[in-house]
Copies of this chain bind each other. A is one copy, B any other.
Amino acid sequence: MLLRGRPRALGAAALLLLLLIGFFLFGGDPDYGRPRSRGAAAFDGDPPADPGGHNSSDCIPPPPLPPPKCELLQVAIVCAGHNSSRDVITLVKSLLFYRKNPLHLHLVTDAVARNILETLFHTWMVPAVQISFYDADELKPQVSWIPNKHYSGLYGLMKLVLPSALPPDLARVIVLDTDVTFASNIAELWALFAHFSDKQAIGLVENQSDWYLGNLWKNHRPWPALGRGFNTGVILLQLDRLRQAGWEQMWKLTAKRELLTLPATSLADQDIFNAIIKEHPWLVQPLPCMWNVQLSDHTLAERCYSEASDLKVIHWNSPKKLHVKNKHVESFRNLYLTFLEYNGNLLRRELFGCPCPPPPGAEQLQQALAQLEEQDACFEFRQQQLAMHRVHITFLPHKPPPPQPHDVTLVAQLSMERLQMLEALCRHWPGPMSLALYLTDAEAQQFLRFVETSAVLSARQDVAYHVVYREGSLYPINQLRNVALAQALTPYVFLSDIDFLPAYSLYSSLRASIEQLELGGKRKAALVVPAFETLHYRFSFPSSKAELLTLLDAGSLYTFRYHEWPQGHAPTDYARWREAQAPYRVQWAADYEPYVVVPRDCPRYDPRFVGFGWNKVAHIIELDAQEYELLVLPEAFTIHLPHAPSLDIIRFRSNPTYRDCVQALKDDFHQDLSRHYGAAALKYLTALQQPRGPV
C-alpha cells in the first residue's frame, strides 16, 4: 500500500547495516556463501564488507521448515472502502490457494468494507476459515492525533493499535497490507516465529528502497530507521510480548517525541515502527527478503529475486500498482492476475488431514446435493437451485442516495452479454440503481475496466453493482433479482429487466405518482409500468406518450411480446391505457408479468426458478396473493430492445426436457402456494388449468 523506495547509490553506513541484518538472518549458515558474493556485486562494485565476520546474504531463504500441521494461523488485515475490499479479496484468494492450515482472519474494517466482506465470506463458505471483524472507526481516536501525509490516511496508521484491538488471548498474528499477493504457503511464514529470540516481537523484511537513508533528494528528512529500515507490508507480530513490553506507551512516546521535530508521518505506521525499532533494535527479527518483495518504482528488490527461484510474497507498494515500471513486472503481474481472475468457488476445497468444522450451512448443502440423482432429468435444475453463489455487493465505489421518502431504485440483473445496455440505461434513468451481475471472477475484472473506460458509467455513483459469481449451467435469474432487490436503499423499487429502457421521464414521474397515490402509507399497491417493444436496433426513443402512440400506430413499436406471449401483459389493458389520464386498477390473470414499482419490503422472487421461464409470473402471483393492488400508471412506459436469444431461451425452445422441468417447477410452486395461502390460492390453480398457448 505504501510507496517506500527510490534507490540511489548506497552509502557505506547502509552497507554496514545491510550486512548486519544479513547476519541476523543467516549467521552461521555456511551454505549461503555463494549468493552473498553475487549479491555484493550488485552494490555498484563496492567490495564486499563483512563487519560482523559472517558469511551472510539477506535474500536467501533458510531451508523451508515443515509447516506445523493443522495449527490455526492468525492473520490481521486493515481494510476500508470499496477498492480496498476488492484488493483484500485477491490477497485472500492467493492466501487460500496455497494454505494447508486452518486460518483465522482478523479484519479491521470501516462500515463499507465490513458490509462487503461479511456478505462475501458468508456466501463464500470456505472450509477452515474463521472471520472476525473489528470496527476501524472505533479505533480511529487512538491514531487520529498523528499528522499523516500518506495516501492511506488514518487507516494506514491502524496497524499500531492491533496489540490492544485484537483479543487479549491472541499471542501471535501475521499482519498484511491489502496490496500483497502470496506465492507460497503462509505456514512457512508462520514458522518463522520459531526463529524469534525470547525478546524479539516484530518480524519484518528490510525496506527495499533507499527512502530511510535520507539521500533521495535534497532536504529529504525521513523518520529515523535502522539503516534502510523495514517495510510493514508483512509483519509477524508477537502480540503477547508487545503487550508485556508496554507497546502502547512505547509507540505513542516515540511518535510524540519524533513529531516534535518532524511535521507528520510520510509513510504512516511504517515511520513509527521504524522509529521504535531504531530505539529498541532488540524488538525486531529481520525476515528473509522474499517474504515481502517490494515492487515500488526503482525498487532494489531485484537483488532479492534474482537469486531466488522461490518468491513468497509480492508487495505492490507503489501507488501505480500493476502499472509500475519494472523489468520483471510482467511476471509479477501474471502471478497477481492469477488470483485476480481465479474462480474463488474452487477454494471451497476442504483441508485434508485437518479435522475442521464445516462453514455454517455447508453440511446441509452437502447433504442436499448428495441426495440429488444424476439420472433425474431435471438434475441440472435441482443442482442449480442448490448452488451457493458468492456475492460481492457494491463491487465498485457507490454513494447511497440521500434518504428521500418517495425515492425509487431501478432493480435489474445481467451478465456480460448485456453490458452494452448499461450506458443507455444510465441515460434513461437518472436515479439510483441496484444491479446484480452474474459473472466469473475474470469477467468481473473485464466489467471493472468497462466501467472505468466509460465516461457515462464512471460519472455515476448512485448505481450499485453487485457481483454474483457464476456457478452452474443455468442462469439463476430470481436469485440475482433478490440480491439486487435486497441491496436497494430507497423506500421503493422499480423491478425491471436489463433489456428495457424506461421513458426518460419515468424516474421523476414515478416519484410523483408514489407521493400522489400515498403508496406505502395506507395503500398496498404495485404500480404497473406498461411495456412495449421494438424489433429494430436503431430507433428513436419516444419522448412522450403521444410519440409512443404514434409509433405504435405506425407499427414501429408493439406492445411487449404481442406476437409470442400476449397473455404476459394483456391484463395491463393497453386499449384503456391509450386513453387513461389517471392510474387505473387491473385484475390479476394467468401468466401476467408486468413491470412494477413496489415498496422495498415486497415479497422476494422465488429462487427455485432458474434458467428461462415463469420466473416473473410467480412473483406477480405472490404480490396478488398478498393483496397488492395492481395500478397501471397512465404516463409511464418502458420499451424492450431486441437482442439475440439467450442460450437459456434457445434451450427452452429446442429442448422438451427443459420445458418439462420448468413445468415441474411451476407445479412445485403451486403446491407451496396452496400450502401457504390455502383457499385464496385456488384461483391460481384454476387459472392454470385453463387451456392456453405455450408457456
A residues at B contact (CB < 8 Å): 63-64, 66, 69-70, 100-101, 305-311, 323, 328, 330-331, 334-335, 337-338, 341-343, 345-354, 374, 416-420, 423, 440, 442, 449-450, 473, 535-538, 563, 641-647, 650, 654
A306→B352 contact, CB < 8 A: yes
Contacts A417-B644, A419-B647; A308 near B342 (Cβ below 8 A) = no
User: What B residues does A323 contact at CB under 8 A?
Assistant: 374
Residue from the set A310, A350, A641 with the largest chain B CB neighbour count within 10 Å: A310
B442→A353 contact, CB < 8 A: no
By beta carbon, the residue of chain B nearest A369 is B330
B343→A337 contact, CB < 8 A: yes
A642→B537 contact, CB < 8 A: yes
Q: How far is the CA of A311 from the CA of B349 in the complex (A)?
A: 13
B64→A309 contact, CB < 8 A: no
B341→A343 contact, CB < 8 A: yes
B337→A349 contact, CB < 8 A: no
Closest Cβ–Cβ distance, residue A384 to chain B (whole Å): 14
User: What B residues does A374 contact at CB under 8 A?
Assistant: 323
Contacts A63-B66, A417-B417, A644-B420; A334 near B346 (Cβ below 8 A) = yes
B420→A351 contact, CB < 8 A: no
29 A-B interface contacts by CB (under 8 A): A64-B64, A64-B66, A69-B309, A100-B309, A101-B309, A305-B353, A307-B353, A308-B352, A309-B352, A309-B353, A328-B352, A330-B348, A331-B352, A334-B345, A334-B348, A337-B346, A341-B343, A416-B417, A420-B646, A420-B647, A420-B650, A423-B650, A423-B654, A440-B442, A535-B536, A535-B537, A537-B644, A537-B645, A538-B563
Closest Cβ–Cβ distance, residue A501 to chain B (whole Å): 13
User: What B residues does A352 contact at CB under 8 A?
Assistant: 305-306, 308-309, 311, 328, 331
8 nearest A-B residue pairs (beta carbon): A331-B349, A309-B353, A334-B346, A100-B309, A334-B349, A417-B417, A643-B644, A305-B352
B350→A331 contact, CB < 8 A: yes
Q: How far is the CA of A628 from the CA of B497 in the complex (A)?
A: 50
Q: How far is the CA of A600 from the CA of B306 in the complex (A)?
A: 49
Contacts A417-B644, A642-B537, A645-B420; A351 near B309 (Cβ below 8 A) = yes
Closest Cβ–Cβ distance, residue A63 to chain B (whole Å): 6
The contact of A442 among B330, B335, B442, B647, by CB within 8 Å, is B442
The contact of A642 among B306, B341, B345, B642, by CB within 8 Å, is B642
B647→A100 contact, CB < 8 A: no
Q: How far is the CA of A417 from the CA of B420 in the complex (A)?
A: 12
Q: How far is the CA of A310 from the CA of B330 in the complex (A)?
A: 30
A353→B306 contact, CB < 8 A: yes
Main SS class of interface, A: loop
User: What B residues does A338 contact at CB under 8 A?
Assistant: 342-343, 346
Additional A-B contacts beyond A308-B352, A338-B343 (11; CB < 8 A): A70-B309, A308-B353, A337-B343, A341-B343, A416-B417, A417-B417, A417-B644, A420-B645, A420-B646, A449-B473, A538-B563
By beta carbon, the residue of chain B nearest A374 is B323
By beta carbon, the residue of chain B nearest A304 is B352
Closest Cβ–Cβ distance, residue A42 to chain B (whole Å): 14
Q: How far is the CA of A563 from the CA of B537 in the complex (A)?
A: 12
Residue from the set A309, A348, A650 with the largest chain B CB neighbour count within 10 Å: A309
Closest Cβ–Cβ distance, residue A97 to chain B (whole Å): 8
Q: How far is the CA of A423 from the CA of B350 in the complex (A)?
A: 40
A310→B100 contact, CB < 8 A: yes
Q: How far is the CA of A308 from the CA of B353 in the complex (A)?
A: 5
Q: How far is the CA of A342 from the CA of B338 in the complex (A)?
A: 8
Closest Cβ–Cβ distance, residue A367 to chain B (whole Å): 13
User: What B residues does A349 contact at CB under 8 A?
Assistant: 330-331, 334-335
By beta carbon, the residue of chain B nearest A100 is B309
Q: How far is the CA of A423 from the CA of B655 in the complex (A)?
A: 13
By beta carbon, the residue of chain B nearest A421 is B644
User: What B residues does A345 contact at CB under 8 A?
Assistant: 334
Closest Cβ–Cβ distance, residue A132 to chain B (whole Å): 24
By beta carbon, the residue of chain B nearest A641 is B644
By beta carbon, the residue of chain B nearest A446 is B473
Closest Cβ–Cβ distance, residue A452 to chain B (whole Å): 11
Q: How far is the CA of A417 from the CA of B440 in the complex (A)?
A: 15
Q: How far is the CA of A355 from the CA of B307 in the complex (A)?
A: 11
Q: How far is the CA of A60 from the CA of B279 in the complex (A)?
A: 47
Closest Cβ–Cβ distance, residue A439 to chain B (whole Å): 11
Closest Cβ–Cβ distance, residue A673 to chain B (whole Å): 32
User: What B residues does A538 contact at CB under 8 A?
Assistant: 563
Q: How far is the CA of A159 from the CA of B654 in the complex (A)?
A: 46
Closest Cβ–Cβ distance, residue A46 to chain B (whole Å): 23
Q: How far is the CA of A351 from the CA of B306 in the complex (A)?
A: 9
User: What B residues does A346 contact at CB under 8 A?
Assistant: 334-335, 337-338
User: What B residues does A331 contact at CB under 8 A?
Assistant: 349-350, 352
By beta carbon, the residue of chain B nearest A655 is B453
By beta carbon, the residue of chain B nearest A66 is B63
Q: How far is the CA of A337 from the CA of B349 in the complex (A)?
A: 12
User: What B residues does A64 contact at CB under 8 A?
Assistant: 64, 66
User: What B residues does A563 contact at CB under 8 A?
Assistant: 538
User: What B residues does A309 contact at CB under 8 A?
Assistant: 69-70, 100-101, 351-354
By beta carbon, the residue of chain B nearest A97 is B338
Q: How far is the CA of A354 from the CA of B537 in the complex (A)?
A: 56
Q: How far is the CA of A353 from the CA of B289 in the complex (A)?
A: 14
Q: How far is the CA of A418 from the CA of B478 in the complex (A)?
A: 25
By beta carbon, the residue of chain B nearest A335 is B349
User: What B residues does A334 contact at CB under 8 A?
Assistant: 345-349
Q: How far is the CA of A345 from the CA of B351 in the complex (A)?
A: 29
User: What B residues does A306 contact at CB under 8 A?
Assistant: 352-353
Q: How far is the CA of A186 from the CA of B269 in the complex (A)?
A: 41
Q: How far is the CA of A434 from the CA of B643 in the complex (A)?
A: 26
B537→A442 contact, CB < 8 A: no
Closest Cβ–Cβ distance, residue A441 to chain B (whole Å): 9
User: What B residues does A348 contact at CB under 8 A?
Assistant: 330, 334
User: What B residues does A342 contact at CB under 8 A?
Assistant: 338
By beta carbon, the residue of chain B nearest A101 is B309
User: What B residues does A650 contact at CB under 8 A?
Assistant: 420, 423
Closest Cβ–Cβ distance, residue A442 to chain B (whole Å): 6
Closest Cβ–Cβ distance, residue A556 to chain B (whole Å): 11
Q: How far is the CA of A310 from the CA of B63 in the complex (A)?
A: 18
